[in-house]
Amino acid sequence: MKVKELAKEYKQYVIDIRREIHRHPEPGTQEFVTAALIRRELDAMGIPYVVKFNTGTVATITGNKPGKTIALRADIDALTLDDRTGCEYASEVPGMNHACGHDTHAAMLLGAAKILKEMKDEINGTVKLFFQPAEEVGIGARGMIADGCMEGVDSVFAIHIASGVDTGKVGSGAGGRMASADRFIINVTGKGGHGAAPHECVDAVYVASKIVVALQEIVSREIGPTVPAVVTCGTINGGARWNIVANEAVIEGTTRCLSAEVRNQLEEAIGRIAQGIATAYRATAELDYQRLVAPTVNTAASVDICEETVKQLMGDNAYFESPITMGGEDAGEYFEVAPEGGCLANLGAHNENKPETFFPHHHPQFNVDEDAFELGSALYAQYAINYLNK
């Protein structure tokens, strides 16, 4: 198969590019060095591109026959985390690390670009390559969409490297697979005063505590027992001194769910409960609900193409249905607006013979099996061809 042959030919190229990106990690919206590298490589390949959302890049490969348009997406930002891998290509930027694998996504997509450029004669339609910034801060996909990256795009396919899955395995599945990731801030205002005279005050810390307890009941009493949902209060802050009744308190937390309907329900319930409890205790509560990342809902038809492609490239036993996770991923933003949706695939990169691959994502020693990159580039490219030529 030509795609597999070309992926093997470009394997070392992808490894080298990934290592170069890994040495120079950058936070979301500030991926200037990474964007310059990507554009340098696209220029060398003769693939045209446009800049989107500042550090984002959208490249275009047009097949020799007319057809639909598929977008392949890779995120490019890193985490604010020390790199403790000790590898020869470790981060050269203190406090920054590609500990989620976005460096691998960008490199594999560049590898796929090489493959697809050489196979233009076999492409019925157009392939867009999305090199997306700011996934970790939850604004990259929406920023790219607002900047027009989805114009003319029919469907989107994304890959995420998976440290918990063996190399040679790929997982996906129809429906909600990864959760929305929203942030809420509740500002509680009472009436401060002396700790010896609480009856003359409205204790904001006490009211906030009541709200925190009540919010835990949303999932158990307002959401169906078979519906995945999370409400977590991560911080509660208030008060200035041990013998003063607090005038103000602030609660911050996150919600996770797998559908737009439940997302709306969680926002409404948090606001209603916070305001109701505050009113009952003579305080006020204001909710700032920030929708950061939509749920990743895979389209069944896209998953079918993914499964077919994985088996075609790696064998019948390579594909599996990945479990639902309440972690967030902004690839779902594209699927919501694409006319034919899309899907996210989890590419295994764990190897029992390589101890450096044993660490989870977001760990300072996170690393992956470089043998997976060849498979990732092939999967990107073959998926696009299969979608366009189906």
Per-residue pLDDT reduced to its tens digit, 16-66: 999 999 999 999 999 999 999 999 999 999 999 999 999 999 999 999 899
156 close to 68: Cβ distance less than 8 angstroms:
no
Per-residue pLDDT reduced to its tens digit, 223-257: 999 999 999 999 999 999 999 999 999 999 999 99
Question: What is the number of alpha carbons within 13 Å of residue 310 lying toward its C-beta?
Answer: 26
> How many of the other CB atoms lie within 10 Å of CB of 316?
8
Per-residue pLDDT reduced to its tens digit, 150-196: 999 999 999 999 999 999 999 999 999 999 999 999 999 999 999 99
> How many of the other CB atoms lie within 10 Å of CB of 211?
25
What pLDDT is attached to residue 390?
83
Helices (H), the chain: 2-9, 11-23, 32-45, 102-118, 140-146, 204-215, 217-222, 260-280, 300-314, 332-337, 372-389
Distance CA 374, CA 17 (A): 13
| Confidence check: pLDDT of 145 > 80 | yes
Per-residue pLDDT reduced to its tens digit, 267-284: 999 999 999 999 999 999
Torsion, Cα of 215, 221, 222, 223 (10° steps): 100
Distance CA 246, CA 112 (A): 58
Q: What is the mean pLDDT of the chain?
A: 97
353 close to 202: Cβ distance less than 8 angstroms:
no
What pLDDT is attached to residue 1?
74
What are phi and psi for residue 113, nearest 5 degrees?
-60, -40
Percent of the chain with pLDDT over 70: 100
- Among residues 34, 69, 62, 31, the alpha carbon closest in space to that of 46 is found at 62
What pLDDT is attached to residue 6?
97
Burial class (CB in 10 A: 0-12, 13-18, 19+), 241: exposed
Which residues does residue 229 pair with via DSSP β-bridges, in sequence order? Answer: 257
- With 0.85 as the threshold, say if the pTM is over it: yes
388 close to 124: Cβ distance less than 8 angstroms:
yes
For the record, the structure tokens of 284 come out as 């006020």
141 close to 53: Cβ distance less than 8 angstroms:
no
Strands 193-194 and 175-179: unpaired
| Confidence check: pLDDT of 135 > 90 | yes
Please tell me what DSSP assigns to residue 227.
S
Q: Which domains does the chain have, with CATH numbers?
A: 2-179+294-389 (3.40.630.10), 181-291 (3.30.70.360)
